[in-house]
Structure 1
Amino acid sequence: MNTDILFTPFESGNFKMSNRIAMAPMTRSRTAPGDVPIPMMATYYAQRASAGLIISEGTPVSAEARGYSMTPGIYTAEQIEGWKMVTKAVHDKGGKIFVQLWHVGRRATTSVAGTKPLAPSALKVDDKIFGPLADGGYGMIETDIPKAMSLEDIERTKNDFLNAAKNAMEAGFDGIEIHGAHGYLFDQFFRRDCNERTDKYGGSIENRARLAVETVEMIVNEIGSDKVAIRISPFLAEGTGGVHDDEMPKLALYLMQKLSPLRLAYLHLSENISNFKHVPDSFRVQAREAYQHPIMVCGDYTKESGAEIINKDWADLVAYGRPYIINPDLVERFKNNYPLNEMTEKAHSQFYGGGEEGYTNYLPYR
């Protein structure tokens, strides 16, 4: 298969990438107290700057949006200053970086968020998150029963995302991606099993998509459509207790239709991880009809399968996650057919927390 398409520049309006390979957002849990980015993070992202686009790890938009310990925020002055160090390091290497704005919703504990987790409805998910243990260390802990969001909570949350987007511009990011996937807040509103609301944010597909549409529109009006993206996962049951909602593909297509006039930088489809269903070809075709702007896909793609989905015109961009942890020069390895480092049990154990080992000590191919 000819994989050259992956290495060609991409342009859609004012959104441009030097190649069609993105680094997917991945939580790594390495911050200073106060969830402030540290110099080691700047090194980590700069090492991977040959990606056409880096999407940062999930970044909470407020203290109450947090779910995992040691995830960098973007709602305090100290956090913004920390991110400036990261964006400068990436830009100095010729790279481009979006921040992924995050609210975990019910996938949280009071011990991390500081308040009772928020969700569309007061329904607990069978889930564990990375948080503080009784012995003072960190590990996987059970989530709490959330509070059903009031309309005031919803308005505050929308404004938290808007303020985070403004902060991202101040911090030097090239744009923002809203995390609307993987059983986090927006995905919780999408899904019937965790959204039992009877107001304008629950019930019909239109109502369950409303929060996402309103939030995207607010941010587009503030910073421009070419700097805004959203990630969704209609075929995953990640963070849902394994429950698939068979209306999700239909809701996703409705959401695409609503967002299409906004001409976002891209729409990001997360696939083929955790508890997933195969994405049918018919959905790919419908997605192109509903959303005629850039589509990014992510989910265990190889160089060959990534090139194939672009050549079929079912996507424009491909994001790679775990391969980027252990191959900082992934673009060069793909382009030159260099061997890839393989994921090991040790590498997997170093995903969350820790220091340079398993984070910045992976070297480019020599």
Structure 2
Amino acid sequence: MPTDDLTPLWQPIQAGDIRLPHRLVMAPMTRNRSTTEGVPTELNAEYYAQRASNALIITEGTQPSADGQGYLLTPGIHTAEQVAGWRKVTDAVHAAGGRVVVQLMHVGRIAHPGNTPHGRQPVAPSAVRPAGVMFTASGPQEMPRPRALSALEITATVADFRRAAAGAVAAGADGVEIHGANGYLVHQFLSSNANRRTDGYGGPVENRIRFAVEVAAAVADEIGPGRTGLRLSPGNPYNDIREDDTHQLYPALLRALAPLDLAYLHLVHTGDEALLDTLRSLWPTALVLNRAGAGLPARAKDVSDGRADIVSVGALALANPDLVERVRSGAPLNAPDPATFYGGGETGYTDYPTRGRA
């Protein structure tokens, strides 16, 4: 295949119950533009609807419970008001011809009480404080030591994911993606430094994967496996995560998940090509690959070579509401403005120009 051949990206594909017209999807990106109550707004609906030509929109991380929030102005999906807010988003995306899944993100220990509606201590697999600071309304602050979830609270958290998935579908979403990547709660259970439990959720690989499998099984049971995706980032140290056994842990996780017949697996690739090939061989349904920093020709080659079925892009979709049309026509792309990624209003959010609009 020529190095600039993007033809593989434009073939339709089925991801579970979701029919995609092509293979370029919008990755989840936190934008911190919901209300203080975690309710999506008309501005959020406009932003997502502008990007409806992507094969699938995976929304920003959305907390399944009050304890799942860690950042300011992120949306939730655990109150009636939040569900109604998401209905505005899904209606707008569908009216524009798109498809959208809500990403369920419980942040676990990556939180600060000042950013949450209840001001409680963060929860995590173990009481291990993460390195780093959290931006709050009063400026950057160290993240506090979290409280370890009890076994009963773990069961309740799994139920929170189940209810949130039902709420997303009630809000009109085409499905949900469980966030098991980037150092948040599901990933914390997988890791060897954040999870120091000595019960059935900690220690050996088969115990550390248990929470991820239980969440995926509960969500799939609630809304159907064909509407359920899962995002993972093997070996990603983001948010103070350490994984010493990725080549044992992630194959074991995928073997445990495979019988669920989920719609797709979304992998954030961090450079381990051998592990990627192993996981590709183990996964029975659609595989979405986010090869951070790679150009679209390299991503198209991942599809043609069989490493991925679908590819996701982040900042390119953020800065180009008409990304698909621009890429197909060879038009130049807008450059993303990192200064406006998080928080604010329409600037750097809904005001990126489409072709022919300055």
TM-score (norm 2): 0.95
Residue in 1 aligned with 2:313?
Answer: 320
- The structure 1 residue matched to 2:6, chosen from 3, 6, 23, is 3
Residue in 2 aligned with 1:275?
Answer: none
Q: Which runs of 5+ in 1 are unaligned?
A: 134-138, 273-277
Q: What's the offset of the Cα at 1:196?
A: 0.7
- The structure 2 residue matched to 1:56, chosen from 56, 59, 78, is 59
Residue in 2 aligned with 1:356?
Answer: 346
Q: What's the offset of the Cα at 1:15?
A: 2.8
Amino acid at match of 1:342: A
CA contact (8 A) 2:192 2:242 kept: no
CA distance in 1, matches of 2:242, 2:24: 29
Q: What's the offset of the Cα at 1:12?
A: 4.4
User: After the TM superposition, which parts of structure 1 deviate over 3 Å for at least 4 consecutive aligned residues?
Assistant: none
Matches of residues 131-150 of structure 1 in structure 2 within 5 Å?
A: 131-133=136-138, 139-150=139-150
Percent identity over paired residues: 42
CA contact (8 A) 1:99 1:168 kept: yes
CA contact (8 A) 1:21 1:53 kept: yes
Question: Residues 132-184 of structure 1: CA distance to partner in whole angstroms, max 9, x if unpaired?
Answer: 21xxxxx4432111001101210111111000000001100000000000010
CA contact (8 A) 1:117 1:147 kept: yes
Q: For structure 1, which segment, 173-182 or 105-114, has the greater mean C-alpha deviation from structure 2 after superposition?
A: 105-114
Residue in 1 aligned with 2:90?
Answer: 87
CA distance in 2, matches of 1:55, 1:249: 27
Does the C-alpha gap of structure 1 residues 13 and 59 become closer, same or farther in structure 2, counting only changes over 3 Å? closer
Question: Residues 25-44 of structure 1: CA distance to partner in whole angstroms, max 9, x if unpaired?
Answer: 00001112311111000000
CA distance in 2, matches of 1:271, 1:290: 16
Residue in 1 aligned with 2:249?
Answer: 251
Question: Residues 70-121 of structure 1: CA distance to partner in whole angstroms, max 9, x if unpaired?
Answer: 0010011111111000000000011000000010010011112321100111
CA distance in 1, matches of 2:141, 2:282: 40
Does the C-alpha gap of structure 1 residues 251 and 326 become closer, same or farther in structure 2, counting only changes over 3 Å? same
SS at match of 1:194: coil
Q: What's the offset of the Cα at 1:284?
A: 2.6
CA distance in 2, matches of 1:289, 1:305: 20
CA contact (8 A) 1:235 1:249 kept: no
CA distance in 1, matches of 2:26, 2:87: 19
Residue in 1 aligned with 2:162?
Answer: 162
Residue in 2 aligned with 1:102?
Answer: 105
Question: Residues 258-309 of structure 1: CA distance to partner in whole angstroms, max 9, x if unpaired?
Answer: 111211111011134xxxxx222x2232112211211111122321011011
Aligned residue pairs total: 350
Matches of residues 1-366 of structure 1 in structure 2 within 5 Å?
A: 1=2, 2-113=5-116, 114-133=119-138, 139-240=139-240, 244-272=242-270, 278-280=271-273, 282-298=274-290, 299-343=292-336, 347-366=337-356
TM-score (norm 1): 0.93
CA contact (8 A) 1:209 1:251 kept: yes
SS at match of 1:216: helix
Does the C-alpha gap of structure 1 residues 140 and 54 become closer, same or farther in structure 2, counting only changes over 3 Å? farther
Does the C-alpha gap of structure 1 residues 340 and 249 become closer, same or farther in structure 2, counting only changes over 3 Å? farther
SS at match of 2:209: helix
CA contact (8 A) 1:120 1:197 kept: yes
CA contact (8 A) 1:42 1:87 kept: yes
CA distance in 2, matches of 1:158, 1:62: 11
